[in-house]
A and B are shown apart, each in its own frame.
Chain A
Amino acid sequence: MTTQVRTEPITVNLGPQHPSTHGVFRMRVTFDGEEIIDVEPIFGYLHRGSEKLAEERTYVQVVTLTDRMDYVGSMLNNQAYMLAVEKLGNVEPAPRGVWLRMIASELQRIASHLVAVGFLIQDLGAWGTPLIYTMREREKILDLFEMLCGARITNSYLRPGGVFMDAPAEFWPAMNAVLDELPPRIDDLDDLLTDNDIIFSRTKGVSVLTPEQMLDASITGPMLRAAGVDWDLRHRDPYDYYDQVTFERPLHTAGDNFARYWVRVQEMRESIKIIRQCEKLIEPGPVRPEHDDVPWLLRPPIGDAYAAIEHSKGELGFYLVSDGSISPYRCHVRAPSLINLTLLREMLVGELLADMFVSFGSVDINMGEVDR
């Protein structure tokens, strides 16, 4: 005989200072027993006004602000911003600079996915170990960035039309060593997690999102590809030289937490392939246009431009308006983290308390980018 326990809805406030919220994020969650019946996400605690600050800085100075938006994907942010500036100012980029920034941004994509996977597993309750495995690999990529541009997180490596300085001679062997080491480590990750029964039972079929739901909410990136929608800007609308490299787009059809995790792991392998191809195609030459063509105090003609890239989290776009002066009149960022969060309620309602942070982590958000 089953006994009916009468439960009452209870509202719990989570965050903003909560270790599982990947930053300062607050959720007002209503539970009925262990089941979530309502979620109200509240954000804005990390708002630093980057878009406004950009309005009083020169086009090159703004690159330091983009570093700090999504701080686990700085190179990708730099790239999106530079594409917008180049479009706005009709800058012809230097080929070697473009190849270098493609290499840098693919490395960054691997690093960013490693963080996403590591923290997702941490949210599952595997405290420490898998996270440290992924952090160890990420550390090597950050070392490469230090070689390239002197900083690990706040890179500021890109400049309008290319990069600020060519890669040093010691970079290429170091990068090859890292790329050789990575595939076995990703296989390890597969052994450790992808085939793991505990992970299976915890993530399969949890927080399923349908392609229609996601398309309606403009969700992009690995989240969308995990539901089988083949949408990758590198392939659909190639920027830089992505039309000259070949890569596959891993797709999963489930649209659940496991699919989102799986797509990220596979994308790391594709990024390695892209870097290998870039390395073959790169040719010696200048890494940025002459100063006479692209001065430091760039004054783009009056107009506006929008450029978007496939960030590790989704479509990252910069919309710049120029009034002909040395700083943008308006700078708007289409932040994938923010837009991917909009389906949080649909993801969480009906799920259990223990899966809440797993689903939240599988979105792979970065509060620095959500609030800007």
Chain B
Amino acid sequence: MIGLGLLKAMRVTLRNALKAPFTIQYPDRKVGIVGAAKEEGKSPIGLVATQPVTAAKAAMSMYSVPVNIPQNRRFRGNEFTWYEDRCTGCASCAKYCPLGIIEIVTSPGGFDVQEGESYAIDVFDIDIGRCMFCGLCVEACPYDALHMGSHFERSKYERDALVIPVDELRQALKEPSSWFRPQFEERDYDPFRDGAEDDHYKVGRHEKPSDETLDERWVEER
């Protein structure tokens, strides 16, 4: 019957029109006086009394608060977390990258009685302008030295600025994502929690094999 279907459709539209919007404002959203007062930690009246300029701005909807988008901890972010002390310069990550955008140059480093010979990392550049954040490099790293990051705001004006050089990797904030690092999730690590674990040793690595398993692997299997 003509008309009934349309009425049904109108009901759905009306129901949805009365709901709060599902969209998230990013990167900030405009708030009124009440929201501004909450952001400044004051009551609305207190805000008008102490910060009239801010209050006026808020009233004209020119006051905005940043919006934090909830992310999951496996999120493959675009800055890499790299621990130099764990990296042996084996270049597994560079070989495993489908695009070949990791450049590694090493030179013979020191000698340690416990660890054996080591290599110093001279160059460890990741050209994230071409990276597709597949995370295969992280999967390939046998020493848990490379992790995906957990952030995504890294736009630049020039292409060259998209290459992450080794110095930047060294100093970068260490908030690795738990992509391909099950031990992070076992220990309930969350890069988005306030004061997320900075100290990676607490977050942990893959289990170190025990002496028995190593014996078995190296002596008995051969």
Interface of A toward B, CB cutoff 8 Å: 57, 60-61, 64-65, 129, 133, 136, 139, 143, 146-151, 154, 156, 164-166, 168-169, 188, 191-193, 195-198, 200, 296
A165 touches B75 (CB 8 A): no
B22 touches A136 (CB 8 A): yes
Q: Which 10 A-B residue pairs are closest in the complex by CB-CB distance? A: A150-B74, A195-B5, A61-B98, A150-B76, A147-B72, A64-B134, A192-B12, A191-B8, A150-B179, A192-B9
Q: Decide if A64 touches B8 in the complex (CB within 8 Å).
A: no
Interface residue? B20 (CB, 8 A): no
Docked-complex contact A168 and B8, CB < 8 angstroms: no
Cβ-based interface call for B13 (8 A): yes
Within the complex, what minimum Cβ distance (angstroms) separates A306 from chain B? 24
B140–A195 contact, CB under 8 A? no
The answer, among B132, B136, B180, for a CB contact under 8 Å with A165, is: B180
- B185 lies within 8 A of chain A by Cβ: yes
The smallest beta-carbon distance between A204 and chain B, in angstroms, is 13
**CB distance B133 to A154 under 8 Å?**
yes
Q: Which residues of B contact A168 (CB under 8 A)?
A: 72-74, 185
Contact B185 A146 (CB under 8 A): no
CB pair A164 B139 closer than 8 Å: yes
Residues of B within 8 A of A143 (CB): 72
B6 part of interface (Cβ distance < 8 Å):
yes
CA–CA, A151 and B150, complex, Å: 11
For residue B76, give the distance in angstroms from its CB to the closest CB of chain A.
4
Known: A143-B72, A149-B179. 14 other contacts (CB 8 A): A64-B134, A64-B136, A133-B16, A146-B72, A150-B74, A150-B76, A151-B75, A151-B76, A165-B74, A169-B185, A191-B9, A192-B8, A196-B6, A296-B140
Instruction: Give the residues in chain A near B47, CB-CB below 8 Å.
Output: none
Q: How distant is A117 from chain B, measured CB to nearest CB, in Å?
A: 14
Chain A minimum-CB-distance residue to B3: A197
Q: In the complex, how many residue pairs between chain A and chain B have their CB atoms under 8 Å apart?
A: 81
B72 CB contacts on chain A under 8 angstroms: 143, 146-147, 150, 168
Q: A154 — which chain B residues lie within 8 A by C-beta?
A: 132-134
Rounded to whole angstroms, the CA-CA distance of A362 and B2 in the bound complex is 24
Roughly how many angstroms separate A73 CA and B75 CA in the complex, as a whole number?
19
Q: Are A147 and B6 in contact (CB under 8 A)?
A: no
**Can you sample 23 A-B contacts with CB below 8 Å?**
A64-B132, A64-B134, A64-B136, A133-B16, A136-B22, A139-B22, A143-B72, A146-B71, A146-B72, A146-B74, A147-B72, A150-B74, A151-B75, A151-B133, A164-B180, A165-B74, A168-B72, A168-B73, A188-B12, A197-B3, A197-B5, A198-B6, A296-B139
Residues in A with CB closer than 8 Å to B5 are 195-197, 200
Smallest Cβ-Cβ distance to A136: which chain B residue: B22
Q: Is the CB of B134 within 8 A of A149?
A: no
In the complex, what's the smallest C-beta–C-beta distance from A202 to chain B, in angstroms? Answer: 13
Name A63's closest neighbour in chain B (CB-CB).
B134
Complex CA gap A151/B76 in Å reads: 6
A148 to B115, CA, bound (A): 36
Determine the chain A residues whose CB is within 8 A of the CB of B206 once the complex forms. none
Contacts of A166 in B (CB 8 A): 182
- The smallest C-beta distance from B69 to any residue of chain A, in angstroms, reads 11
Cβ–Cβ contact B75 & A146, under 8 A: yes
List chain A residues, Cβ under 8 A from B74: 146-150, 165, 168
Q: Does B81 contact A (CB under 8 A)?
A: no
- Chain A residues within 8 Å of B96, by CB: 61, 296
- A133-B16, A151-B76, A156-B134 known; A195 and B8 CB under 8 Å? yes
Produce 1/0 per residue, B161-185, CB < 8 A to A.
0000000000000000101101001
B54 nearest CB across to chain A (Å): 34
User: Given the complex, which residues of B lie within 8 Å of A193, measured CB to CB?
Assistant: 9
Q: Is B11 interfacial (CB 8 A cutoff)?
A: yes
Bound complex: CA A200 to CA B136 (Å) = 48
When chains A and B are docked, how far (Å) is the Cα of A65 from the Cα of B98? 9
Q: In the bound complex, how far is the Cα of B9 from the Cα of A121, in angstroms? A: 14
A196 to B12, CA, bound (A): 12
B76 touching A192 by the CB < 8 A rule?
Answer: no
Chain A residues, CB < 8 A from B98 = 57, 61, 64-65
Residue of B nearest to A57 (CB): B98
What's the Cα separation between A208 and B136 when bound, in Å?
46
Q: Which residues of A contact B185 (CB under 8 A)?
A: 168-169
